[in-house]
Structure 1
Amino acid sequence: MSKTVILAEKPSQASAYADAFDHSERKDGYFVVSHKEFPNAVITYGFGHLVSLFSPEDYHKEWKKWNLDTLPLLPTEYQFKVSDGKQKQYTIVKKHLEEPDTIIIATDGDREGEAIARLIINLSGNDHKTLTRLWINSLEKEEIKKGFRNLRDGE
């Protein structure tokens, strides 16, 4: 039986999704859920921005103290890291993202929500997997169910 992983943006969103499933059980950093379309699923979540850009001093120590002579600070390649204080939840999310072939992106449908999901997926090394997208505008139980029945291509 294949596993489904649903990536929500925040705990409250994940909880609303879990409530829409036939069965849900809260764990540390995720929910185990089941429903006829998803008999073996996990909903995991960020705390907003689990992943952030490197700080200037992460690229070069001399960039820690800004100087007009060194501006603009432009790295040759932008890099990302787990945000401060969020390593535990990132580790939980990463573990679950590594298990399935398909990941359902269920973060907010705006640019920020999409960026949050993509940065987590990319940093975790799971950007090669099939992505689908939950596209809803409401956390009402019936809208959530309808959205999971009508997932969109994540590309």
Structure 2
Amino acid sequence: MKSIVITEKPSQARNVMKAVGSRYGEVLAAQGHLLRLQSPDEANPDWKAWSSELLRPQGGRYGLVADRTSGKGERLDKIKRALSSADQVIIATDCDREGQAIGENLLHFYGYNGRVLRAMFTAEDEKTLR
């Protein structure tokens, strides 16, 4: 079974690698939010001009778009390739709502349907991560 570990940031990936190596799979670092919400005109070109209808798009949610600025494109490509062959993903982002959203949004964006586990830790020292 191929497994990958997604962390929220490069420093977190380094800490996980130092503590447990690749025992749980390839460790890949996001760079915070690698995805952003679509702007209204990306969802529908007719929405380029603001109106009150934009407050709630059809379907109730704006889609996500890859943020390829500041070197994020390379990280996205690496995560996408890894997800395409992974049987299991361990989300090892910060254990708050934002960290959870970063991990879940990546899986949703790339249509990942395999097994998902969540690593929960409140400190990043080796003992805690092990």
What range describes the TM-score normalised by the shorter chain of this pair?
0.7 to 0.9
2:10 is the counterpart of 1:50: no
Structure 1: state its 5+ residue gaps. 24-32, 146-155
Counterpart of 2:95? 109
Give the Å deviation of 1:72.
4.1
SS at match of 1:81: strand
State the alpha-carbon separation in 2 of the partners of residues 87 and 141 from structure 1. Answer: 30
Q: Return the offset for 1:18.
A: 0.5
- Moved >3 Å (runs of 4+): none
State the match for 1:124 in structure 2: 110
Q: Please tell me whether residue 71 in structure 1 is matched to residue 57 in structure 2.
A: no
Cα root mean square deviation, aligned: 1.5
Structure number with larger C-alpha Rg:
1
- For 1:44, give the aligned amino acid: L
Q: In 2, distance between residues paired with 1:62 and 1:141?
A: 52
Please state whether the residue corresponding to 1:75 is helix, strand or coil.
Answer: coil
Describe the superposition over 1:57-92 as per-residue Cα deviations: whole angstroms up to 9, x where unpaired.
Answer: 1123343343xxx11412113211102413221111
SS of alignment partner, residue 85 of structure 2:
coil
Give the Cα–Cα distance (whole angstroms) in 1 for the partners of residues 98 and 17 of structure 2: 22
The structure with the greater share of residues assigned to strand is 1
User: Greater relative contact order: 1 or 2 (C-alpha under 8 angstroms, separation 6 or more)?
Assistant: 2
Instruction: Give me the identity figure in percent.
Output: 30
Question: Hey, which of these two has a bigger chunk of helix by percent?
Answer: 2
Whole-Å separation in 2 of the counterparts to 1:94 and 1:84: 13
Distance in 1 between the 2:89 and 2:80 partners? 12
Shift of 1:97: 1.6
SS of the equivalent of 2:124 reads: coil
TM-score using structure 2 length: 0.87
